[in-house]
Amino acid sequence: MLIPKRQKYRKQFRGVFRKIATKGNELNFGTIGIKALEAGWIKDKEIEAARVILARATRKNGKFWIRIFPDKPYTKKPPEVTMGAGKGDVAYYVAPVAPGRVLFEVDGLKEEEAEKALKNVIAKLSVKAKIVKKEE
């Protein structure tokens, strides 16, 4: 799974989603991509599942870019533990995503193949997303 190499602090607060994305809201590398429609956290396992789908789709010809990275630790307490006794251990890492953020980009595939692969990726994600194309 994707995890940061090192961090200043082991645990973080959850935070609040307040705005739409101003950074990373346009296609920069590929011709077709996935854009988030709602705020949320995308787990490292979801990004890995998307990576596998895109790697299989672009095996012979094509290239893909992952535009998000899970750098926020998500803590969880074990089951049947009483309140108190501090914050739980880090269970996994998440990538915070604001609405309008481009998550994945693909280039070098036929439009139908790319759309089919990206629809499969959207099915794996925990946030609503849509397929966007580069305007020329």
Summarised one tens digit per residue, pLDDT across range 8-29 is 999 999 999 999 999 999 999 9
Give the Cα separation of 75 and 122 in Å (integer). 25
Q: Is residue 85 part of a domain?
A: no
Q: Is residue 14 part of a domain?
A: no
* Token pair belonging to 46: 């979801």
Nearest to 127 by CA among 107, 100, 93, 91: 100
Q: Are 70 and 44 in contact (CB under 8 A)?
A: yes
Supply the pTM of this predicted model. Answer: 0.90
Q: Which residue has the tokens 């309140």?
A: 83
CATH of the domain at 66: 3.90.1170.10
Confidence of residue 109 (pLDDT cuts 50, 70, 90): very high
